[in-house]
Amino acid sequence: MATRSRRPERRQEPLSRERIVEAAVELLDTVGERGLTFRALAQHLSTGPGAIYWHITGKDELLGAATEAVVAAAVAVEPSGRTADSPEDTVRAVALGLFDATEAHPWLAMQLAMQLSRTPWATVAPRIFESLGRQVRAMDVPEAHWFTATSALMHYILGAAGQNAANSASAARAGLTGGDVDRDAFLDTVSAAWEALDPEEYPFIRAVANQVRGHDDREQFLAGITLVLAGITAHHRPGH
């Protein structure tokens, strides 16, 4: 006897923009930007594409909303482990929030780069800039230098976080699982290759080659933040 195929169950609770964006982030994390279609999103939400179009007009808006949601959560991270939170502590918390978000969401670095270059007036760039700029202002940097100092921080954070994400993606494509053993083996290979370079042409690279082995990416990232903050403080100290 012929049997009827079961139709997908429809969701019972009302569909919201927030839930659509949350589901979009979930799909981006698992299937990437190419896999994020309204058909796939509708299936993921157990609804019809028309219900999604009621809240989101197209894929560009969906990607922008997903990026904004992840960035908003990242910059909302509060400093921890301190008795008194300084502006520098807050900058480090925001920076680590963005670093970890970019690591956790492989699609984020590309979306940030695209949105910051194409639509810097939209919500993402102002949110990051505001989060960092308030702390620059609290560091008593003269107002005439707020933009430059905040830009330096933002460019370092997004550049370093994006490069780290790219390194992780390359390691994954090369078959590395992200485990400590595989990562250590990869860094040993890099270090050995640097040590084998011509000593006259690459004296500096050879000198630091051993420091590549076993380094911690987050610690290295935070060390860079400390250097940028120290430079801002030194350059704008009273009487300078």
Mean of pLDDT values over 28-38:
93
Look at residue 3 and tell me whether its pLDDT is greater than 80. Answer: no
Average pLDDT score over residue span 199-206: 95
Residue 31 in this model has a pLDDT that exceeds 90: yes
Query: Which domains are seen in the chain, by residue range?
Result: 86-235 (1.10.357.10)
**Among 6-10, 98-102, 110-114, where is mean pLDDT lowest?**
6-10
CA distance 211 to 1: 71
| pLDDT tens by residue, 107-144 | 999 999 988 888 888 889 999 999 999 999 999 999 99
Write the burial class of residue 165 (CB in 10 Å: 0-12 exposed, 13-18 middle, 19+ buried).
buried
Averaged pLDDT, 226-240: 82
Q: Confirm if 100 and 122 have CB atoms less than 8 A apart.
A: no
Q: What is the pLDDT of residue 14?
A: 75
pLDDT of the residue at 46? 92
> What is the full DSSP assignment across 76-118?
TPPP-S-SS--HHHHHHHHHHHHHHHHHH-TTHHHHHHHHHHH
Identify which of 218, 206, 209, 207 has the alpha carbon closest to the alpha carbon of residue 167: 218
Length of the chain: 240
pTM for the structure as a whole? 0.83
Question: What's the confidence (pLDDT) of residue 75?
Answer: 94
The reported pLDDT for the residue numbered 10 is 47
Give the amino acid at 62: L
How many CA atoms does the CB half-sphere of 184 hold within 13 Å?
Answer: 4
pLDDT of residue 118: 87
Q: What DSSP character marks residue 11?
A: P
- At 78, the pLDDT band (50, 70, 90 cuts) reads confident
pLDDT digits (tens, 9 = 90+) for 169-192: 666 666 554 544 577 787 888 899
pLDDT at 206: 95
Distance in angstroms (rounded) separating the CA atoms of residues 105 and 139: 31
